A and B are shown apart, each in its own frame.
Chain A
């Protein structure tokens, strides 16, 4: 299985809501990533987990809270988001470092109203 799955596909939330994005892989990868992608822009790294430990936080606002419950799962908890946070949120995974291929999930299209 060479696939990264993400749920939900689409999410609309108000600025006071709390929601979570989920990502799963069963390739035995030990590095997992959250990216944010705005239209016509490249993916922008948010967080990196290596061996279930947070290794990179790219100065992301605290309204985004990542969690890695186990080696196969990655969550992104959302709270009090702003309309400018509307974007495609991509999860990716790789063998233990990024000089191996990163496999991207299909993304969650998030709209904040």
Chain B
């Protein structure tokens, strides 16, 4: 089955710097890759997603890149702000499956 690995487990950056979180997946059939942000005590919320027919997607300060050949995808946050502090989960799934497989999470701390 699918396995998703996520790194780093914790990331501390200065406000205004960029943050990058990386994930690798194992199942070449996976074709949908969402990123969720979960603040302490809150629900996971989708912040951006990418499908396998696209190499990059951007939404304001957030971007995701996908390398299908290497089976990895990354989240890029530019001009980080303290409110970006949260746990970020990557995930992967395929059309043929109802199972969304999550990475282990990255705790991002943005220092003011």
Report A's interface with B, CB cutoff 8 A: 31, 33, 40-43, 45, 48, 50, 55-56, 90, 97-99, 101-107
Contact = CB atoms under 8 A, between A and B. Distances in A.
A50 B8 CA distance: 34
A56 B93 CA distance: 14
A106 B41 CA distance: 9
Contacts of B105: 40-42
A42 B103 contact: yes
B56 to A, nearest CB: 18
Interface string B60-103: 00000000000000000000000000010100011101111011
Contacts of B42: 106
B18 interface: no
Contacts of B98: 31, 33, 48, 50, 55-56, 97-98
B50 to A, nearest CB: 11
B102 A98 contact: no
Given A42-B102, A42-B105, A97-B95, A104 B32 contact: no
Interface of B: 31-32, 34, 36, 42-46, 49, 51, 87, 89, 93-95, 97-100, 102-105
A105 B46 contact: no
Given A42-B103, A48-B98, A55-B98, A98 B45 contact: no
Nearest to A42: B102
Nearest to A101: B46
Nearest to B107: A40
10 contacts: A41-B104, A55-B98, A97-B98, A98-B100, A99-B32, A99-B93, A101-B34, A101-B49, A104-B43, A104-B45
B51 to A, nearest CB: 7
Nearest to B51: A99
B26 to A, nearest CB: 16
Nearest to A100: B32
Nearest to B98: A48
